Amino acid sequence: MVFSDLFFIFVFLAACFVCYFAVPKIKVKNAVLIIFSLIFYAWGEPTYVVLLLLSAFVNYFAGLVIEEHRNTGKAKAAVTVAIVFNIGMLFVFKYTDFFIENINALLKTSIPLTGVRLPIGISFFTFQIMSYIIDCYWEKVDVQINFFKLLLYVSLFPQLVAGPIVRYSTIEKEIDDRKTTLKDLSEGATRFVVGLSKKVLVANALYSVVGELLGSYEETNFIGSKLVGQSLFGTVVGVICFALYVYYDFSGYSDMAIGLGRIFGFHFNENFKHPFVSRNISEFWQRWHISLGTFFRDYLLYVPIFGKRRKYLSLFLVWFCTGFWHGASWNFIIWGLYFGTFIFIEMLIGKKRMKKIPAVVSHIYSLLVIVIGFGIFYFENLKDLGNFFKNLVCANGNALIDPFSKSTVLSSLFLIIFAAVACTPIVPCIKKRLYATSRGEAAAVCVTAVTNAALLVLCVIMLTDSTNNPFLYFRF
């Protein structure tokens, strides 16, 4: 079940709201959310819901051992077992076939692939529960002695399958004590509609453009009687559209998750903060997929390696893991190390020197690195990835521009320009100015209500003939 689905919006979500707000006690509300969350996950993963429950139980038990044997060897053993279990589960279901394929390629063996299907959202809920158990060991949060409250945290459906990665500390108090105000309902609903619109009206349209411009490099286009590869223009604009697509698809899901959480009284942290306006790559990763970046920063960057903290080795490890987390493919590892290399270079230059670089130059540098990075992200086949780099320097004998790419871009020009402008802080700045005065605030409230209604109607129309709207990060 996905958020951008009419059944989810008008049946599942409506039923959940009715049951949730019909009961007064917080314990019963929590029970309603657990039941609907398990139904939500089991709808697409009827077998793997057992895996979700097992993960919650193992880490719950480990937390109890940590609490009972605080500052002893048993507590250390408990957190170690829990981490090994969590990472082991992730490796078994996500990376087993990747390692088998590489062993077969390296040693010329014929080990059969397992064919294990990746459980939806395993990377997200595994990292969430790991953050809980580590924070318990570090005494940053209290150990949850009620299994069902911990299960609520792990299974909460708004952020279960594609993030953001919510820390237990973020919602620890709200599990037992929360309320939904009219402001929560209004802002939560607005956030949900905005996220839905990002996905349905912008991301889906951009993906069609990406498919036309990039497709597969095994395919070629005819220009007259000459067979050529993709042009430089088509390659560059295609990757720009893909970068915008990933942003609107993933930030759209995050907006919907944050909005739904707000309606239920939970306040999740932001996951995106206008990343494409960044002046350097370090800033980009402070604005892009924030929950993942802070997870690796807090739990991996400062971990002692070989007995003490090793700054640059830890940096390499973080970016290797960032890439590998995204998928069992070499292009993701290259992608992670690619960004890690630029952050390493920026560290050597220093923050003060980086700030002295003219803003225009900084923004151009950042956008170039980011766009090329998304090209690496897109092409999982290394041969296609090599052709991508060749096309960027016209080493494939490709033209600077071809009629097909030109026609495709011109037909989608308004969409591309709108997507590029709307991902900047322009709209929030306008909204902030309107809210600066009481008259402007009243006008903004009316405009928001009308806009929400119009966007929802447009999304429903677009979804009527749509059969499948998966989010990109469901893969991870």
Active-site positions read: 326
Closest CA to 178 of 264, 269, 259, 260: 264
Alpha-carbon distance of 158 to 256, in angstroms, equals: 8
CA distances from 284 to 274, 289, 333, 426, 431 (A): 9, 9, 18, 18, 24
Closest CA to 408 of 230, 247, 197, 249: 230
Q: Are 122 and 41 in contact (CB under 8 A)?
A: no
Q: Are 79 and 137 in contact (CB under 8 A)?
A: yes
Phi, psi of 106, deg, nearest 5: -80, -45
Alpha-carbon distance of 258 to 29, in angstroms, equals: 18
**Rg of the chain, C-alpha, whole Å:** 24
Q: Could you tell me which residues are beta bridge partners of residue 226?
A: 223
Alpha-carbon distance of 67 to 146, in angstroms, equals: 13
User: Three-state SS string across 314-326, please?
Assistant: HHHHHHHHHHHHH
| Token pair listed for 468 | 């499948």
Q: Are 452 and 189 in contact (CB under 8 A)?
A: yes
